[in-house]
Amino acid sequence: MKILLVEDDRSIAASVVDGLTAEGFAVEHAGTGRAALAATSYDMVLLDLGLPDMDGREVFRQLRARATTPIIMLTARAEEFDRVLGLELGADDYVTKPFSFRELVARIRAVARRTIDAPQDSGAADDANTTQRIGELSLDRRTRRVYLAAEEIMLTAKEFDLLAFLATATGAVLTRTDILENVWDAHWYGPTKTVDAHVASLRKKLGNHDWIQAVRGVGFRLEPPE
């Protein structure tokens, strides 16, 4: 997997490039927003928001407008507002500095599992518009919009992430642990009931409890109601 690292601090960039290379990743470094936007042929972006020539959020918007490549934001901004804003913009994850290298690698691999390596069902991805269709349900990962029988359903960022993760393996049972690690955080220490609460909210918005079925003691699966 090739990673585009957008980081203006050369010492941080050198350390991350060396570490990721040792982990088996191919890494291209861009020190400015313009260099990032000129780069091509990469599978994931690590994007520092504090760039010298452009607002990192604008770089993010332009990258996201041209492709669905997963983006992990790297920033020293640790305030909750900034983390939420990053995720609401559509970032696949958000890591604040200083971060441990092991945590960064874990997050890269978690994002890759749910985006790059995620299995698609037979009716899943339409390459032309990135829309996955499951029965009457349509899920567009690029625009983060969901439609049921052509009517848009308004979801929170985390509800969308949960639905999108369940949709990576339609009909298969995904464990609570898998869901927490991929939708919340690889190092999540909160209650597993968080998953149940979001599932309940999704079921209500989908209008039918059977869209998301619970498998006792294991987890949940997404499939069209009979």
* Pairing, β 151-153 against β 174-175: unpaired
Q: What single string gives the DSSP state of each residue in 154-184?
A: ---HHHHHHHHHHHTTTTS-EEHHHHIIIII
Q: CA dist 154 to 32, 92, 101, 145, 173, Å?
A: 35, 19, 36, 8, 25
Do both 68 and 15 map to the same domain? yes
Do both 8 and 104 map to the same domain? yes
Do both 106 and 152 map to the same domain? no
Domain boundary among 49, 79, 114: 114
Do both 99 and 169 map to the same domain? no
Do both 100 and 170 map to the same domain? no
Do both 11 and 89 map to the same domain? yes
Q: For position 173, which CATH number holds? A: 1.10.10.10
Its pTM stands at 0.57
Q: Is residue 68 part of a domain?
A: yes
Domain boundary among 50, 81, 114: 114
Residues 6+ apart with CB under 8 A from 54: 32, 33, 34
First-residue to last-residue Cα distance in the chain:
39
Q: Is residue 120 part of a domain?
A: no
Residues 6+ apart with CB under 8 A from 127: none
- The DSSP call for residue 25 is -
Tell me the pLDDT of the chain (226 aa) as tens digits: 999 999 999 999 999 999 999 999 999 999 999 999 999 989 999 999 889 999 888 998 899 888 778 888 887 765 555 555 565 566 777 788 888 888 888 888 888 876 665 544 434 444 434 688 999 999 998 888 899 988 999 887 788 889 999 998 888 999 888 888 888 765 554 555 778 888 998 999 999 999 999 998 889 999 998 8
Do both 104 and 154 map to the same domain? no
Do both 14 and 99 map to the same domain? yes
Q: Is residue 119 part of a domain?
A: no
Q: Residue 111's Cα: distance from chain center in Å?
A: 6
For residue 20, give its domain range. 2-114
| Number of domains comprising the chain | 2
Closest by CA to 196, choosing from 182, 185, 212, 211, is 212
Q: For position 110, which CATH number holds? A: 3.40.50.2300
Do both 69 and 134 map to the same domain? no
Domain boundary among 114, 143, 168: 114
Do both 109 and 14 map to the same domain? yes
Do both 80 and 169 map to the same domain? no
Do both 7 and 95 map to the same domain? yes
Q: CA dist 145 to 34, 86, 138, 178, Å?
A: 29, 17, 8, 23
Residue 26: strand, helix, or coil? strand
Q: Is residue 31 part of a domain?
A: yes
Q: Is residue 16 part of a domain?
A: yes
